[in-house]
Structure 1
Amino acid sequence: MLAPDDAHLAPLPCLADRPPRREASTGWLGNGQAPLPAIHDEEGPRLPESLPPVIDAHVHLFPDRMFDAIWRWFDQHAWPMRYRLYAQDVTRFLLSRGVTRIVALHYAHRPGMARPLNQFIASLCKDEPRITGLATVLPGEEGAGEILAEAFAMGLKGVKLHCHVQCFAPDEEAMHEVYEACVRANRPLVVHAGREPKSPAYKCDPHALCSADRIARVLEDYPGLSLCVPHLGADEFDAYERLLERHDNLWLDTTMVMSDYFSSEPPLGLIRSRPDRIFYGTDFPILPYAWDREIKRIAALGLPEEHLAALLGGNAARFFGISETAP
């Protein structure tokens, strides 16, 4: 937990340090016609030494042109980017500030993109061993299982998919090939299957595609699949807390939800109830606030030291198979 000299981490946010609350019915992005505001909060120079080892398990790395396109989309439809850094600069930024390791996520939104994207991530991992890279594929594209097998052979340690961007439901037929490839290779899967943030700028309706009930069917059909739903399953926090009790192969990450930025209150009960199956992530660099905003709030919860250590690093190491002796 926090040491007395970590004063810059201790204060919880004041009401002026977050966007105004929206009605839940409008979704986290409201009507999607205007982006949410940036928060000009102070950032720390690095993580305090008193924290346990920190793995940021939700970092986005893309080729430069894809980052340019992502920034344009977020500027128009979601929130302004505070950190306009390309892949190698993203890695240097976090590792130089005390993050022990990062898990690199990406996704393909058209057929034919996955192979070069996976090669890009594998190359970054080769140059920087503190990156744990995941593969991606477009569900339903020809040879999806073969694409993933090739990615695993290159050293990628799991798979990242995004229902909102790739427009698929977790329990649809095309996903079976992906699940089977992960189980066969004993690789975990991270899939953004929570309903939020919903935006009319997506080409599909996340609330129609995503639900905790759909994820429950996947967990039941594939008990050998290690599955993480990011953002604590937003916005179905209670439903995902119940799923954690029923399924040992389900995990969640904290990404952005504990930042006190969106319309709903952070689900503190969920964090405290399952410190063994939740891990820390940020969405860096796709953030409208300080890079360490979320970890400040997590550290200020006063969790037992062993729970904080699991949440900030230990659980991600277990889920992704990261060795404690790795560089």
Structure 2
Amino acid sequence: MSANVTDTRISSPFPWRGGFFPPILDDPIPGHLEKISDLGIPHLFDIHTHFFPETIMKLIWRWFDNANWAIGYRLPELERVKRLHHNGIKQFTTLNYAHKKNMAKSLNDWTYNNYQNWQGAIPFGTFYPEEGVYSYVKEAVEVYGFLGFKLHCEVSKLNLNDPELSDCFGYLEKKEIPIVIHTGTAPLPGEFTGIQFFKPFIQTYPKIHVIVAHMGAHEISAYASLLDDYQNLALDTTMVFVDFLATGKETDVDAAIPLLERYKDQIYFGSDFPNIPYNLNHPISKIWDLPISDKAKQKILFENGKNRFFK
């Protein structure tokens, strides 16, 4: 890793637990792949990986550069897929999202035309409040065969309670198609992020399958309090149990650990790859080391994803 990347991370507004950023080398942790086999699962399932057209991905990386958030895997697309496999992640999602009108359908078209080149990819689409949104959401499911969708309330300035999206949410609820939603306020709040927007949404669509990104950080406990009442609601671990403190204080993260055991059927492993400022094996090893049962690890790292998309 180049010195300028190191300097960028050191000046990041988000600290590293312990104060020192390790180098981004992506070397295998001793015994890493063996642990997957020892746990009794064939590989890892990552619910939160990003794929964008190259021009858009580079713009996203430039935004992160301006925020002093170093990208650990600034690599060509197929090389990034190899990095996923190298770390034991053999199934992963194709998350992307629109930040303006007349963008979401083209992202869906691009994903459909490319995802089969990415061995292990689970095709996800996106949508945006605009004319024709219901039509292209149906197309993504019924023609493209997409298995899920991604929404980013902060970047898209998207209100989940927008009536323009009600037909889409009703359709996806009926079809049992999951949506990964960035609705929490971490690492930065947005106009329509937070539990105050999410709660009326889930009350309106109580059977919808939703996976809340980053466990809803910075409001993990508030989102977790809904899990008992909404059986199709789940959380993903993306950037929560890591030493890069972009999604909460150390005490907040530690307090969330018991949730992984209690709600092991409703938690998915997520990495946020490739837009992470550390090794991909770091969030995986952190899950290995948590004081939770092997059964919880099996479910979070593989079984919940397999059961959700490959019944």
Q: How does 1:151-190 map to 2 (within 5 A)?
A: 151-152=140-141, 153-190=143-180
Once the two structures are superposed, residues 168-220 of structure 1 have per-residue CA deviations (whole angstroms, 9 ceiling, x without a partner) of: 2222323313312312433111110001111xxxxxx51x4222243222222
Aligned match of 2:237: 254
Contact 1:63 1:87 in 2 (8 A): no
Once the two structures are superposed, residues 125-157 of structure 1 have per-residue CA deviations (whole angstroms, 9 ceiling, x without a partner) of: 33345110110111x211111111111121211
Contact 1:105 1:160 in 2 (8 A): yes
Contact 2:33 2:87 in 1 (8 A): no
- After superposition, the Cα gap between the structure-2 partners of 1:42 and 1:96, relative to the gap in structure 1 and judged at 3 Å, is closer
Higher helix share: 2
User: Which structure carries more relative contact order (alpha carbon 8 Å, separation 6+)?
Assistant: 1
- After superposition, the Cα gap between the structure-2 partners of 1:38 and 1:96, relative to the gap in structure 1 and judged at 3 Å, is same
Letter of the 1:186 partner, please give it: E
- After superposition, the Cα gap between the structure-2 partners of 1:162 and 1:38, relative to the gap in structure 1 and judged at 3 Å, is farther
Distance 2:273 2:153 in 1: 19
Q: Give, in angstroms, the shift of residue 21 of structure 1.
A: 11
Give the TM-score, by structure 2 length: 0.84
Q: How does 1:257-268 map to 2 (within 5 A)?
A: 257-262=240-245, 263-265=248-250, 266=253, 267-268=256-257
- After superposition, the Cα gap between the structure-2 partners of 1:180 and 1:112, relative to the gap in structure 1 and judged at 3 Å, is same
1:76 to 66, 76, 82: 66
Contact 1:163 1:169 in 2 (8 A): yes
Moved over 3 A (4+): 18-22, 36-39, 41-44
Once the two structures are superposed, residues 41-76 of structure 1 have per-residue CA deviations (whole angstroms, 9 ceiling, x without a partner) of: 563337422223310111000111011101100000
Contact 1:237 1:270 in 2 (8 A): no
- After superposition, the Cα gap between the structure-2 partners of 1:318 and 1:218, relative to the gap in structure 1 and judged at 3 Å, is farther
C-alpha RMSD over aligned residues = 2.5
Give the TM-score, by structure 1 length: 0.80
Contact 1:118 1:135 in 2 (8 A): yes
Aligned match of 2:46: 56
Letter of the 2:206 partner, please give it: P
Q: How does 1:83-102 map to 2 (within 5 A)?
A: 83-102=73-92
Distance 2:11 2:258 in 1: 23
Letter of the 2:171 partner, please give it: A
- After superposition, the Cα gap between the structure-2 partners of 1:161 and 1:38, relative to the gap in structure 1 and judged at 3 Å, is farther
Aligned match of 2:108: 118
- After superposition, the Cα gap between the structure-2 partners of 1:21 and 1:284, relative to the gap in structure 1 and judged at 3 Å, is closer
Give ranges in structure 1 of 5+ residues lacking alignment.
1-17, 23-27, 30-35, 199-204
Contact 2:101 2:130 in 1 (8 A): yes
1:229 to 207, 212, 216: 212
Aligned match of 2:258: 269
Distance 2:33 2:172 in 1: 36
Q: Percent identity between the aligned chains?
A: 28
The residue matched to 1:245 in structure 2 has which SS?
A: coil
1:44 to 27, 44, 57: 27
The residue matched to 1:100 in structure 2 has which SS?
A: strand
The residue matched to 1:258 in structure 2 has which SS?
A: coil
Q: Give, in angstroms, the shift of residue 272 of structure 1.
A: 2.8
Aligned match of 1:309: 298
Q: In the alignment, is residue 322 of structure 1 matched against residue 310 of structure 2? A: yes
- After superposition, the Cα gap between the structure-2 partners of 1:42 and 1:127, relative to the gap in structure 1 and judged at 3 Å, is closer
- After superposition, the Cα gap between the structure-2 partners of 1:322 and 1:90, relative to the gap in structure 1 and judged at 3 Å, is farther
Letter of the 1:59 partner, please give it: T
The residue matched to 1:238 in structure 2 has which SS?
A: helix
Count of aligned residue pairs for this structure pair: 286
Distance 1:301 1:19 in 2: 27
Distance 2:20 2:100 in 1: 30
2:281 to 292, 299, 310: 292
Aligned match of 1:201: none
